[in-house]
Structure 1
Amino acid sequence: MNMKKLILKYCLQNAVFYGGKANPKAVLGKVLAERPELRGKVSEVGKEIEEAVKKVNTMSLDEQKRELEKIAPELMVKEEKEEKDLPEIPKAEKGKVITRFAPAPTGPLHISHVLRAVTINYLYAKKYKGRFFVRIDDTDPATAEEEFYDMILEDLEALNIKPDKVFIQSGRMERYYKYAEEMIRKGLFYVCFCRAEKFRELKLKKKECECRESSGVREWKEMLKGNYKEGEAVVRMKTSMKEENPVLRDPPMLRISEHPHPRKGKKYKVWPLYNYASVIDDHEMGITHIFRGKEHENNTRIQERVYMYMGWKTPMVINFGMIHLPGMKLHKRDIKEMIRSGKFSGWDDIRLHTVRALLRRGFVPEALEKTAIQCGLSKSDIRFTWEILEGHNRKIIDSRANRYMVVIEPVRISIQNAPETEKVEIDLHPSFPERGKKTVPVNTEKVFVSKEDFEKFKGKEVRLKGMGNVKLGKTAEYTGNKIKREMQKIQWVSEPNVRVEILTPEKTLTGLGEPEMKKLKTGEIIQMERTGFGRVDGVKEKVTVCFAHK
């Protein structure tokens, strides 16, 4: 096989396996592996590869597949690496593992939740045929918001994650009070009246406050009656102020909040803090394994001490590294303000990284799950790239998505000397002819191609997919219907057509689509030929599609 054919087959293979775009470096590696004698001509080979990659990358993914099947069908089968699975974990017995996901109702679920806390906890419960609980952590009245209780559960349902039980922490207040009073009576907790600044100083100096030995059940009862204001009293765990780890020096367990709670109003004023409530709940709910980010390691140390004081067995805690998302990070408070001001349309605005925004764009739950598994349980931080999620998503939806032609910024042309025809019929999906065909009307006086294609290929012979070959221009000349391997294929529409709006995170694209798109239903995932995959967002006077990826 000559060098050009060798390069072409590996360009096509690389493009087919990786979303329609060949990578020159990957192709070079394959070529040199098969023909080691070319190592002395790397510069020349590199130039040939660059040319071949340019040509292959102008083809659609379906065209690449057909061409590869023609010249090297043996390369169509990818050497699959063994599907990555979650590793075994310590102290896990079949049927006895219970995990939990404990979000605060301060916003809907975000991709960071999915790639770590949600999916990992859920999948390990499934792996060991155990149970998975969701616990809404709403013990901070100042930050909990009513709308997010349901949003979180809706997001989980949309991800096909079904909890065995759902708990709301604010419904368990009497349990927290019961154990707190027991600990105070035993002298293991105490009511502290030190101002926050004063206690910080004592903590740094490793000195005990005078409240440790003088405040007990009476002061606790006064707290419950509402006789102290916010900031005046806090319940602390009595450890040692000389602990080497500062976080263990008499950490707070419960505090006063006068902010009305979204569900309990002003019924309670003394609220448990995270490290205290988590221990009570994890113990009473039988949680066996806790998966959390390594930034919680200090919280784990505090909770271990609470378990020890309570005389309870500590669950298995497994910490994982943080996931760093590309681009600017927006805090929930900033997003809320931008939604209020109209800069974002809502929590499903496709510029956001929320679960509902990603699903609206056409990312599917299976792809999010596979990405989470790939991220795994490593304690090392991970720099996430969207290509990882897009690759999994593309692999899943490619066979599901029917193909439609859309032209962006349409340029009208007419075609001379074309055979008389009113329509052409094209397979909805080239790999699944059994799905049927779509009818694309033809009016040779009114054909539309994208502005980008018109400017790039003007004066050159191109193939209008499914119709025939033309020399492109405002008045294009029909040149026949023979399919030529090297000829660029472009999408087109004629009349009648339908207006199409493509919403991308960066901008909104407008164009025209084939009329069959009017039959699409909201929620369908499609591939727009040579443009990319997307999810239908609405079909009215125009078809609106949220763009997912190439």
Structure 2
Amino acid sequence: MLNEEKSLNFIEEIIEDDIQAGKHDGRVLTRFPPEPNGYLHIGHAKSICLNFGLATKYNGKTNLRFDDTNPVTEDTEYVESIKKDINWLGFEWAEELYTSDYFDQLYDFAVQLIQQDLAYVDDSSAEEIAAAKGTPTEPGVPTPNRSRSIEENLTLFQEMRDGKYKDGEKVLRAKIDLASPNMHMRDPLLYRIKHAHHHRTGDKWCIYPMYDFAHGQSDSIEKITHSVCTLEFIPHRPLYDWCIDKLAIFPSKQYEFARLNLTYTVMSKRKLLQLVNDKFVESWDDPRMPTISGLRRRGYTPASIRNFCERIGIAKRENMIDVSLLEFCIREDLNKSAWRRMAVLDPVKLVITNYPEGQVEELIGENNPEVEGGEGSRIVPFSREIWIEREDFMENAPKKFFRLGPGLTVRLKHAYIVECHDFVKDENGNITEIHCTYLPNSKSGEDTSGLKVKGTIHWVSVAHAKKAEIRLYDRLFNDENPAAAENFKESINPESLHIIKEAYIEPDLIHAEAGKGYQFIRKGYYTLDTLSTADHLVFNRTVTLKDSWAKEVKK
């Protein structure tokens, strides 16, 4: 047994028992088998981290195998996006494989079952087959085709392959047990006819194996030692074992764990596709989507997602994970890695009336004060006129308002202490300009004024500020469990995106990189959008500084 300080999850216990017993010569080979019919989401990230993590821990390997058995819904776009997501998360696969690699072998396996009188061609419609399967309390009844001879079934199956029949006209079924308490064992479908162009095999095939048939045999062909699936595949495991047993091939074994259910989120590819097609979001990588590409564009880091998957652990029972934990993980990571910058999202001008006109100071700001050494520093230009947040000034400030108002003092981040003595309003009563004086001997790091102030606010020099569009993203749904709603789209949060067309950012941010996290001081964590240009800077809010939904996160 390997010595670990951390307790093992149940799959690790199984693997360690297998290693001790000398099973598979101590070899560990897992696989991640996505269907290329959409983009991966955070639920897939849990499976990726588990499969690749197990292989890493036990000096094994993981295959990436695309389950491309449905040509109608699959596309090379999805294949490429899946590979990109896995690499971005920090994992490398041993072999890139496709179920379509095994179409000839799978066909031969089906023929073998027919020859053993364990499979037959059925002409019944889908409705007739479903009705003949019975109910959980009543056994099924054989369709007229169940008694066909081996020779006839071999001929019909060959004709299915040759394209003699239309879609849905015939199927190949396993001959198992119509009275089984497990409905999946009541003569399940093994092959169906689909006259559709396949993204890899072209028009070579017009029959395609069902997932339940292709899955176990593909695992066996690759000699997968531990095939890890989510709990909904528990009823499918007997068929997985039955096919491997009857074909007498390598005995891969299936193990199930609880999939990820996340609050305020839907994770069905079908529902996510609806959001894209119905224009509730702009694309699969919309930063409000739970897709890995959406999270990446929003500013989530690979480390934060891996940490999240590790924290939620591997369980045998379904549970609902609060999305606040995911947000906590990205805050924790960005607090250590994000460079600090100043950005004013709702600007009002502040004029320092006693500061020399035309004078510019080059102040110094640390990139990240949370890290020893600050990860270097940058120059922050300071001048007589600056932008501050409108909310940082109140004409009639309450007693515990420690920002600006008539007669109030505050420190400007990295700069000086200022005191407000006047302000200007327009004809509508809106404050357009704030007038302050500064204390020349109060400069940060060199302060000899002796004055203590309780508030510090951020700012940007008017003369040096750059304009940017800021996109404030929030949760896409108001309902804690939108997937359970009759119409999940009715619970979409209309405030999930607020766009600020003209904010002001400090000049150093023109060098910002997409995918790198920045903390806009006092405002939250942001990243440059992938579609941003030098002429139109766009920043996406990754997450607020604190949980704005006021839910306590337990570490």
Give the counterpart of 1:311 among 245, 248, 257: 248
Structure 2 counterpart SS, 1:133: strand
Counterpart residue number, 1:449: 388
Matches within 5 A, 1:100-499: 100-115=31-46, 117-204=47-134, 205-215=139-149, 216-312=153-249, 314-327=251-264, 329=266, 331-333=268-270, 335-336=272-273, 339=276, 344-418=281-355, 422-423=360-361, 424-430=363-369, 431-433=371-373, 435-444=375-384, 446-455=385-394, 457-459=403-405, 460-472=408-420, 474-479=434-439, 481=442, 482=449, 487-494=454-461, 495-499=463-467
Residues 541, 432 of structure 1: alpha-carbon distance in 2 compared, 3 angstrom cutoff: farther
Deviation, structure 1 residue 97: 0.7
Contact 1:405-1:492 within 8 A present in 2 as well: yes
1:488-514, CA deviations, whole angstroms, 9 ceiling, x for partnerless residues?
111001121111222232222341111
1:83 to 1:368, Cα distance in 2 relative to 1, 3 A: farther
Contact kept in structure 1, 2:267 and 2:290, CA below 8 Å:
no
Asked if 1:541 is matched to 2:478, the reply is: no
Report deviation, 1:413: 1.3
2:389, 2:455 → 1: CA distance?
14
**What is the CA-CA distance between 1:335 and the residue it aligns to?**
4.6
CA–CA distance in structure 2, aligned partners of residues 328 and 403 of structure 1: 30
Shift in alpha-carbon separation, 1:279–1:226, aligned structure 2, 3 A: same
1:380-438 CA-to-partner distances (Å, cap 9, x unmatched) read 22322333223323333323222111111110011233478521222233344464432
Q: Which residue in the other structure is 2:430 paired with?
A: none
Q: Look up the equivalent residue of 1:370 and give its one-letter code.
A: N
What amino acid does structure 2 have at the position aligned with 1:536? L
State the match for 1:66 in structure 2. Answer: none
Distance of aligned partners of 1:280 and 1:416 in 2 relative to their CA distance in 1, 3 Å threshold: same
* Residue 340 of structure 1, CA deviation: 5.7
Residue 494 of structure 2 corresponds to: none
Asked whether the 8 Å contact 1:521–1:539 carries over to 2, the reply is: no
Distance change >3 Å, CA 463–CA 175, structure 1 → 2: same
Note the residue ranges of structure 1 that are not aligned, 5 or more in a row. 1-81
Q: What does the per-residue CA deviation read over 1:1-36, in whole Å, with 9 as the maximum and x for residues that have no partner?
A: xxxxxxxxxxxxxxxxxxxxxxxxxxxxxxxxxxxx
Distance 1:410 1:372 in 2: 39
Q: Do the aligned partners of 2:216 and 2:252 also contact (CA within 8 Å) in 1?
A: no
Find out whether 1:99 has 2:30 as its counterpart: yes
- Residue 99 of structure 1 aligns to a residue whose secondary structure is strand
Deviation of 1:231 after TM superposition, in Å, equals: 1.3
Look up the SS of the partner of 1:507 in the other structure: strand
Bigger shift: residues 362-371 or 278-287: 362-371
Secondary structure at 2:317 match in 1: coil
Farther off after superposition, 209-218 or 264-273: 209-218
Q: Give the Cα–Cα distance (whole angstroms) in 2 for the partners of residues 478 and 202 of structure 1.
A: 86
The 1-side partners of 2:87 and 2:315 are apart by 27
SS in 1 for 2:391: helix
In the aligned structure 1, how far is the partner of 2:525 from the partner of 2:468? 14
Is contact 2:221–2:250 with CA below 8 Å preserved after alignment?
no
Counterpart CA distance in 2 for 1:279 and 1:522 is 41
* 1: CA distance, partners of 2:341 / 2:257: 42
Structure 2 CA distance for partners of 1:275 and 1:378, relative to 1, 3 Å? same
Report what 1:507 is aligned to: 498
- How far the C-alpha of 1:454 sits from its partner, in A, is 2.3
**Does the aligned pair in 2 maintain the 1:406–1:492 contact within 8 Å?**
yes
SS at match of 1:198: helix
Contact 1:350 1:504 in 2 (8 A): no
Q: Which runs of 4+ in 1 moved over 6 A?
A: 82-85
Aligned-partner residue type, residue 400 of structure 1: S
Asked whether the 8 Å contact 1:137–1:168 carries over to 2, the reply is: yes
TM-score, length-scaled by structure 2: 0.78
Q: Quote the Cα distance in structure 2 between the aligned partners of 1:302 and 1:99.
A: 20
Deviation at 1:486, TM superposition (A): 5.7
Q: Larger % of helix: which?
A: 1
C-alpha distance in 2, partners of 1:249/1:120? 32
- 1:141–1:347 distance in 2 versus 1, CA, 3 Å: same
SS at the partner of 1:346? coil
C-alpha displacement at 1:226, in angstroms?
A: 1.5
Q: Which residue of 2 aligns with 1:50?
A: none
Q: CA shift at 1:347, angstroms? A: 2.4
Number of aligned residues: 467
- Quick one: structure 1 residues 143 and 485, their matched pair in 2 at CA, closer, same or farther if it must change by over 3 Å? farther
* Residue-by-residue CA offset, 1:213-242 (whole Å, 9 max, x unaligned): 215212212212222221121111111211
CA distance in 1, matches of 2:261, 2:319: 6
SS, match of residue 389 in structure 1? helix
Q: How does 1:34-45 map to 2 (within 5 A)?
A: none
SS at match of 1:190: strand
Tell whether the 8 Å contact from 1:290 to 1:317 is kept in structure 2 after alignment.
yes
Q: CA deviation at 1:85?
A: 6.8
CA distance in 1, matches of 2:293, 2:147: 52
Report the Cα distance in structure 2 between the residues aligned to 1:392 and 1:328, rounded to whole angstroms: 17
Tell me how far 1:543 sits from its aligned partner. 3.3
- Structure 1 vs Structure 2 CA RMSD: 2.4
Secondary structure (helix, strand or coil) at the match of 2:537 reads strand
